[in-house]
Structure 1
Amino acid sequence: MQDSSTITKPTKSRFPRSVPFIIGNEAAERFSFYGMRSILTLFLVKQFFNPTGDAALTEQANAHANKLHHLFVMVAYALPFVGGMIADWFTGKYKLILYVSMVYCVGHLMLALFDGGLSGFELGLLVVAIGAGGIKSCVSANVGDQFDATNQDLLSKVYGWFYFSINAGSMISTVAIPEVYKYFGPKWAFGVPGFLMALATIIFFSGRKRYVKVPPQGVNRNNLVFITWYSLTHQGQRKPGQSFLDVAKDSYNPERVEGVKAVYRVMSVFFFALAFWAVWDQCLSEWTLYAEKMNRVISLGFTSFTVEPGQLSTVNTVFLLAFIPLFNYLIYPWLDKRGLKTTPLRRIGTGLVLTALSFVVIGVIHNDIMHGGTPSIWWQVLAFMILSAAEVLVSITGLEYAYTHSPKSMKSTMTGIWFLVVSFGNLITALVNGLIEDGGWWARNLKGANYEWFFVAFICVFLVAFLIVSPRLKERNYITDPYLDNQGLADINNL
């Protein structure tokens, strides 16, 4: 019999001591970002673009505010790709998060100080966008860096808490900041998110001695940008039977070249998500303006209260928290058992249909408002419910598709590209609002609910194209077929 004293008991996994600092930092940062966005469009209209409430200026003032809001989001989501490369190549994640967070705080301070001057306020928006975008690609990766082989089993749990902190921060802020704006004015409404961002920075700095800090790796030439550029400039050397990117295999890691191919395959799916991201952020801008003109009294039998326009986006978080388990554990399995396999491409297509439907509801609301009506705010709640279901089908599925259909060496790149899709979607909406602001054909023909009908048609064009193209898209799942990660080496050996 084995002596019990020699039996080694398995060590129980422990969360790294740095985790509470990262979770706290993320909750406070998301509070600051979504808090200021909840009142941004309404503030721009009332403070700068139509302070007198002139009905003749409504369309152009709203378009100007919406354009500025979407340009802000565009910059914020374009920079994670750049921030990730800077951290990986030059600074490391810790230094980049710390230093850019300080810039982020300065941006919030500028919003509070320059609430009476448009030029200063716009500069503050730019600085906030640089701060939010600069750290976005690093914070979630920094969570993973804290774990090793002894506690990898806790990684999924910590990411659960991480995303809980994101939703908690955004939910609390979208309830609180519109109230602060109503009772204390814009200085406090933009100042409070600034305090929370300063708190986020202090929390992050406080954990400095506990973090695992992965050092920068220097410039890595085996990436999407370098391989694509090399292929573009060396097409004359391409051998018979080689694809566009295969020419780079002579000078770059063949496995990485195959990874870049996978990136472009996934990007062909991401292209159709542009239709979703061109409209999603309107629920935090255009929809807020409509909510102000609706009947916002909520009666619950024993009590009633009035919802502030910027608070409506809170229901998006509520619906998401309900829909994610509903779809994953009930709807998808139920459909799969009945032979209607819920593949990623089918989910995305269905999500685009629901996105268009949510804008049909908003179009009906807008039309009623334009004809002097005051529709119930419950109609906008319905639109949020449909759009939240679309978000589960398009956004979450898109991230899953990016992870499963790209090799290990390209997973971070795919996350950055997904953020770029969000950025380009907001750019499209900003351009449309810019054309309305400038007058002419767009201003005449996109008045009132025609604005929503335009985007319904826009989504439908993408949907029809998706139905034509999706059956022809080649799917290569790197999770179910790990051999694909070595396919590049096999290909080069067979040449």
Structure 2
Amino acid sequence: MEHPPQFDEEHTPGALGLGQMNATRIYCAFYIFYYVTPLFVAPVADSRLGRYTTLVVSVIMYCAGCTVLTVSSLPGILAKGWGLSGLILSMVLIGLGGGGFKAIMVPFIADQYTETTPRQKVLQSGEVVVTDYQLTLQYIYNLYFWVGNVGSLSWFATVYIEKKHGFAGAYGLTLGFMTIAMLMLIFGKKWFVRIPHKNNAIPQATKIIICAVRNGFRMERTNPEYQLEHHHKKVTWSNRLVDELTRGLRACRVLLAFVMFYICFDQMQNNLISQAAQMKTDNTPNDLLPAMNQVGCILLGPLIQEGLYPFLHRRRIYIKPITRIAIGFGFVALAMLYATVVQHAIYSSPPCFNQPMNCAYRDGLSKQEHMEDRPNVWIQAPLYFLIASGEIFAYVTGLEYAYDHSPEDMKVIVQAISLLLGGVGSACAMALAEVARDPNLIWLYTSLTAGMAVTALIFWLLFHKYDRLGPDVSEHDPTTETTINLEKESCQHQDCTADVSDSHAKAANIVSPKLIQPLKKAHMPASELSLLQLGSETTLCITDGYAVGEYAKSAPSSVHGLLLDDNYLRKGREKDEKPATN
């Protein structure tokens, strides 16, 4: 979009010649559309067609958009002036298909993991482990993010094909990959878990929110019992839907902070590419550098998931979602600070200084001559590693948080809302397009640095209390479902205090019984129950044949363990009930 048609070694490849400011605007407008689309797709997926069928339709539309993009990039088509119209049509199709894909794929992947209750397992080594739903879900999303970045390594091939052979070949490569993905999705249907769509929960959710507004913005006042007691009114919704919607709204509040994250993230696809074009490239394509973001995600992802987290878990340190997101925001702020430093280095380089793209034409210098004193383009690489760290901590956790805290019948809708915030970020980035030009770029990156740092601080101060609250996932609740299925022998036949290999535990995405503190005494003060908290909101206590807890005094001696849920225990204290045991 930015550069005119040129394919020689000295110039940056281009086709439409719209300039940096207009290219940035079109890019941001596309992503606004891309992120708004899921709001219209989500109700269809959740209540009409189901997630799988809607996903297939989205991928077909995505492939159609890639086809139009490839054809409209052929030299003959560009020569006839149809390049811009083809680009716009492809953006519409890719926005519809890609936006729907992005919203549905996240809950669809989580649907494939059906083992939602903790389960004792014995590894081939004979070691005893216990699966944990929350840690496994975290692992799934980190793996999903990692695999996506492996696929994004095609960026290296794409930019070199673009530079050597033109845009049509580059887009044709991605069209081929998407066609393979479409065929895998269609012909692999029998292997996927396909959750049937349910009744549309949006009308009921809307009524609950309106009722909450009328009752002083208090969600607890929308419960059927409250409405009947105080307003003598029978409502059509249940307490469960109110609780689920409350958690969903809490998740949306948390995700609001991602607007600033997306503003900074968008720079990677527009202004930072332009920044690379202002530097000494030595025949390196200027749009190659963002691929280092994928490299960073591929390298850092396993180090964090398989190294850092298990290291902390062995020391009983569990970084909860809000903390992980705040850490990610901090890395993004550092990335924008680094971009500021790089831009300052460019503006300090003679002979062009703060007009790096204009002085060649003004002074009659060749591009090679006025680039000689510029910083090398590869000093930009650490910036993308910082963004990658921010994605791993913040973006991946945001996906996990949105899924885990959303109502069962509104999983895709909450994901769509989280994507909509990306659209808001792109709209804000579009507003910044006016200053995205020389000599204002240092101030642009400085402002983004300050904005992201302030957002991280405010986010932590407002929401860190949510780390003490967990998703009350009813399908995992021992009060509403059958109790834990311990498929293997109980700890009466195993040494639960044995030193379990952390490497084995890590490989199986499980919590080691070594981390689940065995207790010998029969009773435990309620004040100490919080000590049993692990990484998730429910904890399986493996004991030596005794039920533990002051609310299980009458449990038979055959009871092997006790599922402690903090919310249920609190209610149990109020109602003098004991938790379910197995």
Same fold (TM over 0.5): yes
1:246 maps to 221
Report the CA distance between 1:381 and its aligned residue.
Answer: 0.8
- One of 19, 22, 29 as aligned partner of 1:61: 19
1:45 maps to 2
CA distance 1:245–1:251, shift in 2 (3 Å): farther
How high is the TM-score relative to the length of structure 2?
A: 0.62
1:183 maps to 164
CA distance in 2, matches of 1:219, 1:468: 36
1:382 maps to 382
1:429 maps to 2:404: no
- One of 283, 289, 292 as aligned partner of 1:315: 292
CA distance 1:396–1:195, shift in 2 (3 Å): closer
2:244 maps to 259
Report the CA distance between 1:125 and its aligned residue.
Answer: 0.9
* Residues 33-182 of structure 1 mapped to structure 2, 5 A cutoff: 44-47=1-4, 61-115=19-73, 116=78, 117-143=83-109, 163-171=145-153, 173-182=154-163
Report the CA distance between 1:480 and its aligned residue.
Answer: 1.0
Report the CA distance between 1:211 and its aligned residue.
Answer: 4.8
* Residues 355-394 of structure 1 mapped to structure 2, 5 A cutoff: 355-370=332-347, 371=353, 372=356, 373-394=373-394
Report the CA distance between 1:257 and its aligned residue.
Answer: 1.1
Report the CA distance between 1:337 and its aligned residue.
Answer: 8.2
CA offsets, 1:376-416, max 9 Å, x none? 23321111122222222222233344455556566554433
CA distance in 1, matches of 2:23, 2:45: 33
Report the CA distance between 1:279 and its aligned residue.
Answer: 0.8
Aligned AA (1:137): A
The answer to whether the 8 A contact 2:58-2:97 is kept is: yes
CA distance 1:147–1:354, shift in 2 (3 Å): closer
Segment of structure 1 superposing worse, 79-88 or 332-341: 332-341
* Residues 249-288 of structure 1 mapped to structure 2, 5 A cutoff: 249=224, 250-288=235-273
* Residues 407-418 of structure 1 mapped to structure 2, 5 A cutoff: 412-418=412-418
Report the CA distance between 1:178 and its aligned residue.
Answer: 0.6
CA distance in 2, matches of 1:208, 1:385: 37
The answer to whether the 8 A contact 2:142-2:396 is kept is: no
CA distance 1:280–1:407, shift in 2 (3 Å): same
CA distance 1:487–1:197, shift in 2 (3 Å): farther
* Residues 441-456 of structure 1 mapped to structure 2, 5 A cutoff: 442=435, 447-456=440-449
CA distance in 2, matches of 1:485, 1:410: 24
CA distance 1:445–1:396, shift in 2 (3 Å): same
1:216 maps to 2:197: yes
2:179 maps to 198
CA RMSD of aligned residues (A): 4.1
CA distance 1:444–1:196, shift in 2 (3 Å): closer
Report the CA distance between 1:463 and its aligned residue.
Answer: 3.4
Report the CA distance between 1:331 and its aligned residue.
Answer: 4.1
Unmatched 5+ stretches in structure 1 = 1-43, 298-305, 437-441
- One of 271, 277, 298 as aligned partner of 1:292: 277
The answer to whether the 8 A contact 2:323-2:460 is kept is: no
CA distance in 2, matches of 1:211, 1:341: 32
CA distance 1:63–1:248, shift in 2 (3 Å): farther
CA distance in 1, matches of 2:455, 2:59: 37
1:477 alignment partner, SS class: coil
CA distance in 1, matches of 2:389, 2:143: 22
CA offsets, 1:181-238, max 9 Å, x none? 1112122222332233233323333334555544432423476445324544xx1xx3
CA distance in 2, matches of 1:453, 1:84: 37
The answer to whether the 8 A contact 1:283-1:313 is kept is: yes
Aligned AA (2:22): H
Aligned AA (1:46): H
CA distance in 2, matches of 1:316, 1:450: 24
CA distance in 2, matches of 1:393, 1:159: 11
CA distance in 2, matches of 1:254, 1:179: 57
CA distance 1:89–1:289, shift in 2 (3 Å): same
The answer to whether the 8 A contact 1:79-1:133 is kept is: yes
CA distance in 2, matches of 1:104, 1:473: 37
How high is the TM-score relative to the length of structure 1?
A: 0.72
- One of 480, 487, 492 as aligned partner of 2:537: 480
CA distance in 2, matches of 1:332, 1:360: 27
Structure possessing the higher relative contact order (Cα contacts under 8 Å, 6 or more residues apart): 1
2:500 maps to none
CA distance in 2, matches of 1:411, 1:466: 24
In terms of Rg, which structure is larger? 2
CA distance in 1, matches of 2:424, 2:570: 32
The answer to whether the 8 A contact 2:28-2:430 is kept is: yes
1:419 maps to 2:419: yes
The answer to whether the 8 A contact 2:326-2:460 is kept is: yes
- One of 469, 481, 487 as aligned partner of 2:462: 469
Report the CA distance between 1:131 and its aligned residue.
Answer: 0.8
CA distance in 2, matches of 1:161, 1:459: 26
The answer to whether the 8 A contact 1:323-1:389 is kept is: yes
The answer to whether the 8 A contact 1:74-1:424 is kept is: yes
The answer to whether the 8 A contact 2:70-2:167 is kept is: yes
Report the CA distance between 1:146 and its aligned residue.
Answer: 5.5
Aligned AA (2:451): F
2:48 alignment partner, SS class: helix
1:420 alignment partner, SS class: helix
1:109 alignment partner, SS class: helix
CA offsets, 1:295-333, max 9 Å, x none? 335xxxxxxxx5322222222222222323333454456
CA distance 1:487–1:105, shift in 2 (3 Å): farther
1:307 alignment partner, SS class: coil
CA distance 1:484–1:429, shift in 2 (3 Å): farther
Report the CA distance between 1:69 and its aligned residue.
Answer: 1.4
CA distance in 1, matches of 2:43, 2:464: 34
The answer to whether the 8 A contact 1:404-1:477 is kept is: no
Aligned AA (1:247): T
CA distance in 1, matches of 2:171, 2:256: 35
CA distance in 1, matches of 2:36, 2:299: 29
Report the CA distance between 1:472 and its aligned residue.
Answer: 6.0
**Equivalent residue pairs, number:** 420
CA distance in 1, matches of 2:408, 2:63: 34
CA distance in 2, matches of 1:291, 1:78: 30
1:349 maps to 326
Report the CA distance between 1:374 and its aligned residue.
Answer: 2.0
2:376 alignment partner, SS class: coil
